[in-house]
Chains A and B, each alone.
Chain A
Amino acid sequence: MPTSPQIDPSKLNSPASWRDPEAKPFVQIEQISKKFGAFTAVDSVSLDIYKNELFCLLGGSGSGKSTLLRMLAGFDKPTSGRILIDGVDMSNIEPWKRPVNMMFQSYALFPHLSVEANVAFGLRREGVRSQEVKQRVAEMLDMVQLGHLAKRKPFMLSGGQRQRVALARALIKRPKLLLLDEPLGALDKKLREETQFELINLQDELGITFIVVTHDQEEAMTLATRIGVMNQGQIAQIAEPHQVYECPNSRFVAEFIGNVNMFEGTVMSEDSDSVTVHSPDMDNLIKIDKEHATGCAPTQSVCVAIRPEKMRISRDPMDGNTNTTSGIVTDYAYMGSQSIYKVRLHSGKEVRVTLPNAIRDMGDRLTWDDSVYLSWDSESGVVLTS
């Protein structure tokens, strides 16, 4: 796993145990596979998750992320491989005996029970005394700010309120591990953003390990301590959010997360601190810092990925004879905080460039059909070999 120089440990809200090679993983997924007939939903995935992590499984539909979560909860039995939670093999442990609780995508609130009874369900099954049940339910409902709705039935609640009930119900048993299946999927955009931060704070406060399944990359970026990007039943990359974005390890990950300009080319030369790539789409050679160009050798066909916001755009020619090219603006969108340009290179390839609108300058803006020059730094690109 490449370590990026931009990491600032003080910005992380919990000690990064996953970066400590000595730390003992809390959840160990060992070579786990799940087949449904001829279809392989999860294909020998191995994954270690550490205590207090908020781990996001990110992937499109059918990537196997939900199946993996269901195997952790015990609803699906793995075809092969095993899962250990806190050192205990879960293979023969039924869902109702696992130290795990799940928040369902549909929330799965019991429609015939009140909010209170829904939240109390787990405690009642444990045989907790009714006085204590009452007290803990009241505390939990206060924590999710639903104390005043305790007597309501789920169908009388709004989407956001139901989400909180589901969360309260999953948390009341103080599980060691909380599984969340698309926890914010059914909320509208504004509520989702608020709830994201609430989830992070809650996780921090309670010290419970969270595993979140989501298809929303922004959600994963905001929530996660680490992201596991899944594709076709396999894990494509496991890394911290900024690493997944800045240092994707494959074309799939680079393209799945955020926007990216991808140039196919051939490695020309390699020296002690950089790699030079020739791409037929570019006017000049591409130079990439060595640390973002691992595992490649001269004459090898590779892809160079450059994020739109890392490219500069200008009417004037750029200095230097590497990492520059030219083209014509074919599309332009003003988005408020930033502007997006689409530039057609001489080869016909379209490149996306985003420019923050840092200055309130309505004057000489680049617009349609302008001839422009693009440039970027040698540390901006990433060489991808797969």
Chain B
Amino acid sequence: MNNITPYVGKGAMAVRLVHRIKAMNWGRMAVILTPTLWLAVFFFIPFLVVFKISLAESAIAVPPYSPLFEWNPEEAYATLKITFGNYLFLFESRFYLDAYLSSIRIAAISTFITLVIAFPIAYLIAKSSRTRRTLLLSLVILPFWTSFLLRVYAWMGLLKKNGVVNEFLMGLGITDHPLIMLQTDFAVYVGIVYTYLPFMILPLYTTLEKMDLALLEAAKDLGAKPYQAFFLVTLPLAIPGIVAGCLLVFIPAVGEFVIPALLGGSDTLMIGRVLWDEFFLNRDWPMASAVATVMLIVLVGPIMFIRSRNKQEDAP
């Protein structure tokens, strides 16, 4: 009996294992395939279309660009028509370069301000009691219940010449004439920081919440003053959250269109607005596509760099 059982057991187990592997592979495939398909249909194919348009020439036609292939019916051959003129123009013209740089600058500064504001909030939430934590987290997410566009409009009401903020400041006698805040870079920063704050708080909260409080006590025990303990222990351990939060804020902020359009002035140069103008005002689809393609590369580059660095660090 004892001699036979293991064999039966092993056979049955092997069969079960095979089934399991088969079942698992299907399940795994499905899990991996769904996002892959999603990305292919809604990101990769549209990107290829945009890329294709960026290689065409602007034309007064429907659609307003030259076709990629020109079919010659008499001799039965197709001509591939590609131009890099749009890209060349992008790099030759100061205007686009300035727009890119200005977008990156505005996004970087707003990301930094967001980080500075979000860190204490996330820290407070992570260190508060379980019940309070749920309440505070839902307060962070609460603004999402109102449309983003409406909230930006609300800021217009707050920041305009006879808006709430100016009325308040003048009422207190801090200033005797209204401050010009709307249609300045300041308003753009306010808008971006306000809008993207939750995207910074949430990843920061997740990393800070996992941190062992004993580590801070150990640091203090070894002679670190509270601020030293923060910079030597809390901050380095929060780096994954900081990186995630900064990417979540920086990337959409670079391409932001609504906020600079509504809150920014005419001199607020951001690539999102340039893209919009190129597309809808100039109706130069190939140029707009080239701008979009370069923007994507500018944004994906740093992410790839950070990811590859993280991988190197994870490897023991």
CB-based contact A125/B223 at 8 Å: yes
CB-based contact A108/B224 at 8 Å: no
Assuming the A-B contacts A75-B217, A95-B217, A96-B220, are A110 and B233 also in contact, with contact meaning beta carbons closer than 8 angstroms in the complex?
yes
CB-based contact A96/B215 at 8 Å: no
B220 to chain A: closest CB distance in Å? 4
Assuming the A-B contacts A108-B212, A110-B218, A156-B316, are A96 and B225 also in contact, with contact meaning beta carbons closer than 8 angstroms in the complex?
yes
User: Is the C-beta of B214 less than 8 angstroms from some C-beta in chain A?
Assistant: yes
User: Is the C-beta of A121 less than 8 angstroms from some C-beta in chain B?
Assistant: yes
> Chain B residues with Cβ under 8 A from A100's Cβ?
221
CB-based contact B236/A112 at 8 Å: yes
What is the size category of the interface that chain B forms with chain A?
10 to 19
CB-based contact A95/B221 at 8 Å: yes
Chain B facing A: main interface SS: helix
> Chain B residues with Cβ under 8 A from A37's Cβ?
none
Complex interface residues of chain B between 116 and 130 (CB less than 8 A to chain A): none
User: Is the C-beta of B190 less than 8 angstroms from some C-beta in chain A?
Assistant: no
> Chain A residues with Cβ under 8 A from B218's Cβ?
102, 104, 108-110, 169
CB-based contact B223/A122 at 8 Å: yes
B206 to chain A: closest CB distance in Å? 16
> Chain A residues with Cβ under 8 A from B233's Cβ?
110
- Report the Cα distance A111→B207, complex, angstroms: 14
Assuming the A-B contacts A106-B212, A111-B237, A112-B237, are A169 and B222 also in contact, with contact meaning beta carbons closer than 8 angstroms in the complex?
yes
User: Is the C-beta of B228 less than 8 angstroms from some C-beta in chain A?
Assistant: yes
User: Per a CB cutoff under 8 Å, which of A109, A112, A125, A153 touches B224?
Assistant: A125
Complex interface residues of chain A between 49 and 108 (CB less than 8 A to chain B): 73-75, 94-97, 100-102, 104, 106, 108
User: Per a CB cutoff under 8 Å, which of B217, B223, B236, B237 touches A104?
Assistant: B217
User: Per a CB cutoff under 8 Å, which of B219, B221, B236 touches A73?
Assistant: B221
CB-based contact A121/B219 at 8 Å: yes
> Chain B residues with Cβ under 8 A from A8's Cβ?
none
> Chain B residues with Cβ under 8 A from A174's Cβ?
none
B228 to chain A: closest CB distance in Å? 7
- Report the Cα distance A93→B236, complex, angstroms: 27
CB-based contact A108/B223 at 8 Å: no
User: Per a CB cutoff under 8 Å, which of A106, A121, A122, A169 touches B214?
Assistant: A106
User: Per a CB cutoff under 8 Å, which of B222, B228, B232 touches A101?
Assistant: B222
CB-based contact B215/A126 at 8 Å: no
Instruction: Encode A272-303 as 1/0 by CB contact (under 8 A) with B.
Output: 00000000000000000000000000000000
CB-based contact A96/B221 at 8 Å: yes
User: Per a CB cutoff under 8 Å, which of A73, A110, A173 touches B223?
Assistant: A173
A175: nearest residue on chain B (CB-CB)? B221
- Report the Cα distance A75→B222, complex, angstroms: 12
- Report the Cα distance A169→B219, complex, angstroms: 11
> Chain B residues with Cβ under 8 A from A96's Cβ?
220-225
User: Per a CB cutoff under 8 Å, which of B215, B221, B237, B316 touches A102?
Assistant: B221
> Chain B residues with Cβ under 8 A from A110's Cβ?
215, 218-219, 233
> Chain B residues with Cβ under 8 A from A170's Cβ?
221
Complex interface residues of chain A between 125 and 181 (CB less than 8 A to chain B): 125-126, 153, 156, 169-170, 173
- Report the Cα distance A40→B224, complex, angstroms: 30
> Chain B residues with Cβ under 8 A from A125's Cβ?
222-224, 228
- Report the Cα distance A60→B225, complex, angstroms: 33
- Report the Cα distance A95→B225, complex, angstroms: 9
A152: nearest residue on chain B (CB-CB)? B316
- Report the Cα distance A153→B315, complex, angstroms: 12
- Report the Cα distance A274→B103, complex, angstroms: 95
> Chain A residues with Cβ under 8 A from B215's Cβ?
108, 110-111
Instruction: Encode B256-285 as 1/0 by CB contact (under 8 A) with A.
Output: 000000000000000000000000000000
Instruction: Encode B210-254 as 1/0 by CB contact (under 8 A) with A.
Output: 001011011111111100100011001100000000000000000
A121 to chain B: closest CB distance in Å? 5
- Report the Cα distance A153→B237, complex, angstroms: 14
B218: nearest residue on chain A (CB-CB)? A108
- Report the Cα distance A156→B220, complex, angstroms: 25
A122: nearest residue on chain B (CB-CB)? B222
Assuming the A-B contacts A125-B228, A156-B316, are A108 and B217 also in contact, with contact meaning beta carbons closer than 8 angstroms in the complex?
yes
B212 to chain A: closest CB distance in Å? 7
B243 to chain A: closest CB distance in Å? 14
> Chain B residues with Cβ under 8 A from A75's Cβ?
217, 220-221
CB-based contact A126/B223 at 8 Å: yes
B221: nearest residue on chain A (CB-CB)? A102
CB-based contact B220/A95 at 8 Å: yes
B233: nearest residue on chain A (CB-CB)? A110
B216: nearest residue on chain A (CB-CB)? A108
CB-based contact A108/B222 at 8 Å: no
Q: List 29 A-B contacts (CB under 8 A).
A: A75-B217, A75-B221, A94-B220, A95-B220, A96-B221, A96-B222, A96-B224, A97-B223, A101-B221, A101-B222, A102-B221, A104-B214, A106-B212, A106-B214, A108-B215, A108-B217, A108-B218, A110-B218, A111-B237, A121-B219, A121-B224, A121-B232, A122-B222, A122-B223, A125-B224, A153-B316, A156-B316, A169-B218, A173-B223
Extra contacts, 17 of them, besides A96-B225, A104-B214, A110-B215 (Cβ < 8 A), are: A75-B221, A95-B221, A96-B223, A100-B221, A101-B221, A102-B217, A108-B212, A108-B217, A110-B219, A111-B237, A121-B222, A121-B224, A122-B222, A125-B222, A125-B223, A169-B222, A173-B223
